[in-house]
Structures are given as C-alpha cells and as structure tokens.
Chain A
Amino acid sequence: MELLGIGPGGWGDDLLRGAWVTVQLALAALSLGLVIGLAMAGAKLSSFRPLNWLGAGYTGFIRGTPEFLILLLVYFGSESAVKSLLAALGLEIDFEMPKFLAAVLGLAVIFGAYACEVFRGAFQAVPKGLMEAAEASGMSPWLAFRRVRLPMMWRYAIPGLGNLWMVMLKDTSLAAVIALDELLRIAKIAGETTRDPLLFFFAAGVLYLIMTALSDYGRHRVEQRARRGMPA
C-alpha cells in the first residue's frame, strides 16, 4: 500500500498526474473530433458527390480498422509527412512528432468518424417544418442553421456523443503503446520499477473505472438537460 502513497516513496502522485494527462488527452481529442465530425457530416450531406465519397471513404475506413492501427499510422505517418515536408523545403531539421499531439490527432480522427454518423442522424432528425418556418420568417440559410438547426441538432446528438466519449476515454490508454506518459504507461513504469505490476495495473484500472463512472454520471445529467421540454 505504501507504494501507492503520495511523495517520494510512493507512486500515487505519479499515477494521478498520469490520469490528468489522460483527461487532457481525451478533452483535446474530443474538441478536435467534434470539429472533424461536423465537417464530415457536412461532406456526407452535401449535394456535391465527391464530398459524399470522401465522407463515406473516411468513415468506412476508420470504422473497419483497429483503433490501435490507426493510432500507429497517424503517429508514424504524421512524423514522416512532416519530415518529408521539411526536406522538400530544403530544411535540415530533425523532427520528432510530439507524442501528445500524435495521440490527440489519432483519437480525434477515430472519434470524428463515429461522431459524423451521430451528427448526420441528428441533422436529419430536426423536423423539416422547423427549417421551413425559419426560412419563412426571413432567416437566411446560415442564420437558420445557426439559430434553429444547430441548437436542435445538439439535443438529438448528445446521447450518441456521450457514448462516443466513454469509448474514447478508454481508448486513450492506447497512447501508452507510443510511450506517452498517460495513466497506463505510468502504471507500467511503476510496475516495472517496483516489480509489482499487478498492483499498479490494478490501481490504473480503478482510476479508469472512477473516470468512466464520473463520465457516466455527467453524461446522464447532460442528457437530461438536453431532453428538457422534449416529449418523452
């Protein structure tokens, strides 16, 4: 138990710091993932065919490929892309992809593919009459989108996005494999140093469980708020 304590002898503070990195990672990937998801939903709903193909190809690829593979592909791929860009510019700078950034990109790309489907469903769930009414009241299409469709869409999208958040929070652990010092990797290091891996992986599991339980509670609250005034 001493090993889990706070301070120089214990790893408790290190684990908590790792958990904080995990939370930051998940929040950053959520923000970027929502933007990607909205953009891709727009591409899928657009009347311009090549954009439809882009959206379908993107979501199809991500949904059928292991998250782990995508993360590694993004990590190594972004590094070599930047390297060849630097080389093309004639710059002789050695570049190493920041692990946190790579993990955020990878998780956001995955989140975006699933969020895209949620947004598309929510877009179509907004009753047509509402948009017609907005148009009839003289709103421009953009204003009607911003004032009517987007606020309505959120309410339909929230349950689905809540599920995706839970999935992604757990997927942040994959970043341990690219040696980002988040919760699981800290637990691994602690386990190797103290020769007690079971204790530390178990502790990490408990911390993940606390994070998902809190998220579940938060999700429930947000869902209730989003549903207010809606018929059951």
Chain B
Amino acid sequence: MSVYQDIKIAASDGVCAVIGPMTPALFEKNCARFIDGFWVTIELILLASVIGLGIALVTVLARLSGNPILSTIAYIYTYVFRGTPLLVQLWIFYFGIGGLGEEGLGPILWAFFKDGWNVGLLVLTLNTGAYVAEILRGGLVNVPKGQMEAALAYGMTWLQAMRRIMLPQAFKIAWPAYGNEVILLLKGSALISTITVLDLMGQTRTVFSRSYNLEIYLYAALLYLLLAGLITFAFRRIESRMAG
C-alpha cells in the first residue's frame, strides 16, 4: 500500500511539475491538492463501478429468478436506493451508523465505519449497483423471449442461459445507458466530500475555504469535465467495437 501511495505522490508531483507552469497561479499553487483529489475520485469511481456492476448482476438475477423471497429483496434494494437521495444515504451510513461509535458497532465494524473513504465507497457502490441493476433489467427485457426458451430447450440451466445467452446481449443493449450511469456516479461522487473524504471536490472546498476565490470551483469543474469526457470517449470506443 505504501509503495502505491509513493507512486501516487510521485505521479502528482510529476504532473504538477509539467503542467504547473502552464496553469494560472492559483491553480499552480494548489496543483498537488487538485491532482491528489483527482486520483481519489478516479480510484473511487473505478472501484465503485466495478464492484457495483457485480452487485447489479447478482441483484438482477435475484430479481428475475422467480424465487419470491430473492426477488422481493432485490426489488426493495433497488427501490430504496433509487428512491432516496444519495446524500441521505451517505449521511445515514456515515453520521447515522458510523455515529454509533465503537461501543455501538464493535471494533471490526467501527474500524470500517470510522473512515469516510470506506463509507463513501460502500454507499457509492450500493447506489450505483441499484441503478445498474435496473439498466440491466431493461436490457434483458429487450432481448427476445425466444432466446431464453431456445437456450432452455437446449438443456441449459436457467443460470447458464442467463450467463451465456441473455446477459451478453442485454449488456450490449444497455451499454450506452451504463455509460451514462458511470457519468452520474462520477458527479455523485463529489458528495463524499461532505463525509470528510478529500476527493477532488473535497480538496476544492478546502482550497476555497482558504482563498474564497471562485476560480477554484471553475478549475475543479474543468477537471470533472475532463474526466467525464474521457469516460464518454472510452464508452463510445467500446460501443463501436461491440457493434463491429
């Protein structure tokens, strides 16, 4: 972990040494902070989108499994996480559950909940998992029913048919919507700055509280736009490859 931290610090120093002189003075002065926060944001959305996708897969399988208990649990999970604001979810987990303290949570849970980064990752993952599950469900509904029937007639089990026939096609249909969801995740991730995480938004707010200069927010906006642009670009590239 510490080697990784060293690499991150070296990387942000390097980036700032190169781009620093080209940027406005206010940015150059706080460059290391911006780049550090930028990394934290990238790490979180990468982890949350990958783990969230796993949760979404399990959820959508549970939802469509035909088992009333599993499907009800999956329904309630997606309904609650899509029906309440992300900020409320973050505060319930961090200030609410985390606020129970070591005596309320026990040493293991407390070790997890006392760190805003952990809670932020957990909530972002659960939140995006619920949205992606709905997106995948939409994709699955649009795969012709006959495909499932044919797969079952070939002797595949329901899970095999899902994994080999239905989900790959659903994924292809849902891909653009999934790309949008990753952008929403990126934008939503700014809210973890309210639970003490120094992501890009957290660093920006720290710098702003010292300088009270609005330019700071514009620089942060540009960095977010850059990241959103990169994500959009990557998704379009993969989409055209899938089509070809």
Contacts and interface: CB of A to CB of B under 8 A. Distances in A.
Given A61-B221, A64-B229, A65-B221, A213 B83 contact: yes
Interface string B58-100: 0000000000000000000000100111111101100111011
A73 B219 CA distance: 11
A24 interface: no
Interface string B185-197: 0111111011000
Contact of B84 (A69, A77, A212): A212
Main secondary structure of the interface of A (DSSP, over half): helix
B183 interface: yes
Contact of A73 (B89, B91, B217, B225): B217
B46 to A, nearest CB: 17
Q: How large is the interface on A (under 10, 10 to 19, 20 to 34, 35 or more residues)?
A: 35 or more
Contact of B187 (A60, A67, A76, A188): A67
Contacts of A174: 85, 87, 191
A64 B183 contact: yes
Given A64-B183, A68-B201, A209-B80, A184 B221 contact: no
Interface string A186-210: 0010010000011101101100110
B85 A208 contact: yes
B96 A184 contact: no
Interface in A50-74: 60-61, 63-69, 72-73
A201 B220 contact: no
B224 A65 contact: yes
Nearest to B217: A73
Contact of B91 (A60, A170, A201): A201
A191 B95 contact: yes
B84 A205 contact: yes
Interface string B18-61: 00000000000000000000000000000000000000000000
A77 B187 CA distance: 20
11 contacts: A64-B228, A67-B187, A77-B214, A173-B85, A174-B87, A191-B95, A197-B91, A198-B95, A201-B95, A205-B88, A208-B83
Given A64-B225, A66-B186, A177-B194, 12 more contacts: A64-B183, A64-B229, A65-B187, A66-B201, A69-B224, A73-B217, A188-B91, A198-B92, A198-B97, A198-B100, A201-B96, A202-B96
Interface of A: 60-61, 63-69, 72-73, 76-77, 80, 170-174, 176-177, 184, 188, 191, 197-199, 201-202, 204-205, 208-209, 212-213
